[in-house]
Chains A and B, each alone.
Chain A
């Protein structure tokens, strides 16, 4: 008998636990001919901001050992064009896949404003709050680094938005479990772990950083152990709190076993990110391998695997 891959969380069902991560699948249309996302658990859009953004000067990406550094600068079409042109196409093609819109602001007010506007759109299943972007009013420190700011952003959104909210947290903090706890207390319905890690690559020939903005966010297989550890820690904390809050595992997932690591650490859903660039059908392969594992191991429901690595 085929395993049950449907995941029930956030007050809805996901046809399977595999989503594609923000910024690695655009608005769904670019890869659609060769990788219809309708097969997946869901699509997480490229981060949407209030105004359209051109992004940072190039080079914006460079490969590093088992990973990639990027500094795109949240280039996107802006909220208006997203709602008018991109969202209708996504909704028309999503079929059973869930539509999660990732967004950011450059101030607490902007976060609340963008989230509130998205919350009024029909068809969106959930919002993912990108707390990894710089807070311009607070010296460009990213929002996710400060518990008080996380509380303010998530709390502000919670008061204005009915849709399920997933707080996407950066691993570049002293205690990610404490920040996850703060986000949940402020009203987050889920936590997405992890965003990229800050990094740099220097071209020794030109004696300068390769990336135009010097620093970039590290993603890909190189960060998977960091992501798995964060999920493990946060899962433990949420258990201690008695909070039934799903974790969405992200970071270096490119195979079924990568996804299983996150699930066993405590993630109920996973997102495939950078691997989409390596192979446009990567998320589909992850899903097939997960199904294959369950069948081979006699797992009747994939949710039975969530958090198994914690059992003594």
Chain B
């Protein structure tokens, strides 16, 4: 017998499937829309917070032009510093390409760092100088201009004509090919205006003069040729028995220290080992060395490795280096050595040596800190003795070391002669630095214990 309704089953099935797919698709669209909205809201929050921060920065800067009392100023600069930190945090979350906002970001960072420097100065009772007042006025004008630009972007955002997630889509993949478009251009104009901002020189980490610093350790050295660079590299590496080495210059680098990049290949080569060295074109010093060799199980002890590292430096002409710290990672020990001058340890003149604990071979060297700051210094005479400095320490502090003279960085480019004390409070170890000239407490550091890092001083 013929079934009259046998088409019903496939039809019902088909309808069910279509409905299912539609329902599923609808769900997808909705969840995508929800995700996009959530993302958009997050971006908008960051942006509107940023607008607020910049407005506050402008107001605080204008107040700082009027205020005269140091105690008030100190408060003001603290607030300014906080606003700037918050502003740059929010800026970092806005989906525009990093280059587009680099200058704006730098402005915010500099305002923050400058405010911090002034906060510290005024808290110490020293009011701001005329020079500093002028800088603050320049910063205030710049903040005003930034504010106007932000207003324009904000108007677009509030009017809904610009969705930040659109921006993000543009910047994510497409931008690299097509260049900035859309509302990016608003940010670009904003950033371009920041370009007119004069370079800011002050005593802080983002000061413009720091980027232009020359390595004093290399000063006066003559320029070397590529051939000489190869020889320097071959003379520097930690040669292993029964292996010969060939070197070639892979290129010239124009970084902070102009270099020849030299590649050294061991013959016979194993595990694709290659040693790469940066040899300064001026004075021909090895600034850094990196080895790609893989490291096997540890066969030598950490102190043995340290002796090897010290000998390595000694043989290469680094005299009077003192070990300060080491850490171990994956059977490689990294030892820090600081230079000394007349028994004073010079923390800024730092060189790091990494040793493979399977064979004791020196794998890497990082002498950037050393070459960027090492020079014969005119150290001040201490005005107080170690014993006098010791009496300035907290009575709650236990197991204190006798104290020794150490030169530490005070700001990005000033240094202070101090007495260094190590001691403990309960289970925590601290390093305390007392200014050897003024007797003031210069620095308190907490030593955070990790499994693989150890202070050796």
Whether A associates with B in a native complex is no
B residues at A contact (CB < 8 Å):
none
**Interfacial residues, chain A to chain B (CB-CB below 8 A):** none
